[in-house]
């Protein structure tokens, strides 16, 4: 038995995406920077993919730069905007992905950038009135970087309001949209935003393929020097087959978004209901249990204090159930989730992030509930 409930970390490759990638592998192998026929064929694949991605977020093809994924994009966008515009202040939150937390901390330490964290309540809801107040001064010297959908507790940022506040103050805005692209409609024409990040493996595409949206007219220094690929922003031969998979995955996700949303919401609600029915004392972290106001793929559960909880993730893994204790990038670490700590989570409770995809079924949830009851000693194994 194998049940995968860690899709916020990475999703299974869609068979149609695999087929598109194999087809590309069979057809093209030239360097897209070469001017001969083989190179032009690869270049055509590249630009077709760029156009597809642009259409799906209502951007211009020239505003899409291919990267290796979310971490690279977040790092590059934040550093790039700070350097390009000589920014002196960054406003973010302590609930961000480490890709954002670590680069902003680095810039603060190495370059003396003022780093400000927004307050949040015990549900992880950020104080946007505080943001408005902070932006009332030094707006033109400020970068705001806040994620659209939290990867651990599922909270959704009012990204349009944040963009409007930045526009009014003359501030710059980057958003880690890794968990929202492919799961929610994203329209960059409807949001005042300078850069955002996407990663294929979060919506059933391949790992190692992602993109950065850079709003037309926004300055972005070269992230990697070399042959001048990707509009001289990111030199290096592009990962053509991965990019083909990225575009196909986003195309499928966008076309089928309503059906996938409905199905996954049903599975998530079923799990929340079953947990409440069968395990006394469970609580839900952040906004994750609010079906209409959270990322529908994520349910973050806090289990009551018990000696049996200490090895809960390990025990589930032994039973063939894959879940996470927080962000997958730190799930092997001995420290707890910085997000749960940031919202005042109790140290004696174990938090588990269950995250779902279009491939999960209610029958799997029944099995997982049974396994949890066995592990927690609520029934005889």
- Let me know if residue 354 belongs to a domain: yes
* Domain match, 176 and 289 both: no
Q: What's the rounded mean pLDDT across residues 223-246?
A: 96
**What pLDDT is recorded for position 306?**
79
pLDDT at 304 over 90: no
Domain end marker among 238, 255, 272: 255
| Closest CA relative to residue 215, chosen from 151, 148, 167, 161 | 167
* Domain match, 248 and 159 both: yes
**What pLDDT is recorded for position 329?**
56
CA dist 75 and 160 (Å) reads: 22
User: What pTM was computed for the model?
Assistant: 0.95
Based on the structure, what is the number of domains in the chain? 2
329 tagged catalytic:
yes
pLDDT digit string, tens, across residues 145-185: 999 999 999 999 999 999 999 999 999 999 999 999 999 99
pLDDT at 333 over 90: no
> 195 is in which domain, residue-wise?
15-255
- Let me know if residue 380 belongs to a domain: no
Quick one: what percent of the chain has pLDDT higher than 90?
90
Q: Which helix (H) or strand (E) holds 86?
A: none
**What pLDDT is recorded for position 330?**
46
- Let me know if residue 276 belongs to a domain: yes
pLDDT at 331 over 50: no
**What pLDDT is recorded for position 335?**
64
pLDDT at 82 over 50: yes
pLDDT at 228 over 60: yes
* Domain match, 50 and 199 both: yes
CATH number at residue 23: 3.40.640.10
The answer to whether 374 and 344 have CB atoms below 8 angstroms apart is: no
Q: Which residues contact 332 (CB under 8 A, 6 or more apart)?
A: none
CA dist 294 and 333 (Å) reads: 26
Q: What's the rounded mean pLDDT across residues 182-201?
A: 97
- Let me know if residue 225 belongs to a domain: yes
pLDDT digit string, tens, across residues 91-129: 999 999 999 999 999 999 999 999 999 999 999 999 999
CA dist 133 and 37 (Å) reads: 56
* Domain match, 221 and 80 both: yes
**Mean pLDDT in the chain?**
95
CA dist 236 and 377 (Å) reads: 54
DSSP string, 204-224: TS-TT-EEEEE-TT-----SB
CATH number at residue 363: 3.90.1150.10
pLDDT at 307 over 50: yes
């Amino acid at each position: 038995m194998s049940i995968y409930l860690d899709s916020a970390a990475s999703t299974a490759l869609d068979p149609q995406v695999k087929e598109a990638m194999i087809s590309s592998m069979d057809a093209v192998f030239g360097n897209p920077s070469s001017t001969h026929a083989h190179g032009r064929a690869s270049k055509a694949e590249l630009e077709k993919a760029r156009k597809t991605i642009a259409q799906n977020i209502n951007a211009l093809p020239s505003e899409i730069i291919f990267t290796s994924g979310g971490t690279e994009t977040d790092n590059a966008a934040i550093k790039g905007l700070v350097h390009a515009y000589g920014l002196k202040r960054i406003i973010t939150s302590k609930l961000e992905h480490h890709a954002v937390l670590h680069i902003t901390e680095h810039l603060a330490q190495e370059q003396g950038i003022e780093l400000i964290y927004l307050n949040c309540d015990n549900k992880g809801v950020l104080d946007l009135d505080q943001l408005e107040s902070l932006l009332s001064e030094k707006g033109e010297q400020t970068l705001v970087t806040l994620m659209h959908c939290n990867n651990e507790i599922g909270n959704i940022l009012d990204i349009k309001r944040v963009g409007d506040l930045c526009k009014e103050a003359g501030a710059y805005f980057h958003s880690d949209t890794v968990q929202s692209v492919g799961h929610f409609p994203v329209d960059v024409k409807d949001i005042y935003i300078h850069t955002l990040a996407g990663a294929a493996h979060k919506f059933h595409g391949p790992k190692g393929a992602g993109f950065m949206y850079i709003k037309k007219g926004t300055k972005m220094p070269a992230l990697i020097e070399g042959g001048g690929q990707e509009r001289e922003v990111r030199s290096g031969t592009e990962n053509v087959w991965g990019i083909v998979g990225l575009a196909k995955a986003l195309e499928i996700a966008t076309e089928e978004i309503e059906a996938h949303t409905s199905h996954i919401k049903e599975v998530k609600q079923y799990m929340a209901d079953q947990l409440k029915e069968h395990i006394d004392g469970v609580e839900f972290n952040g906004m994750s249990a609010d079906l209409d106001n959270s990322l529908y793929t994520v349910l973050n559960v806090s289990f009551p204090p018990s000696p049996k909880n200490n090895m809960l993730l390990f025990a589930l893994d032994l039973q063939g159930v894959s879940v996470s204790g927080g962000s997958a990038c730190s799930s092997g670490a001995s420290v707890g989730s910085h997000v749960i700590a940031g919202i005042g989570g109790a140290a004696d409770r174990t938090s588990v992030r269950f995250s779902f995809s279009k491939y999960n079924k209610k029958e799997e949830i029944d099995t997982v509930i049974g396994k949890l009851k066995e592990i927690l000693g609520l029934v005889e194994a």
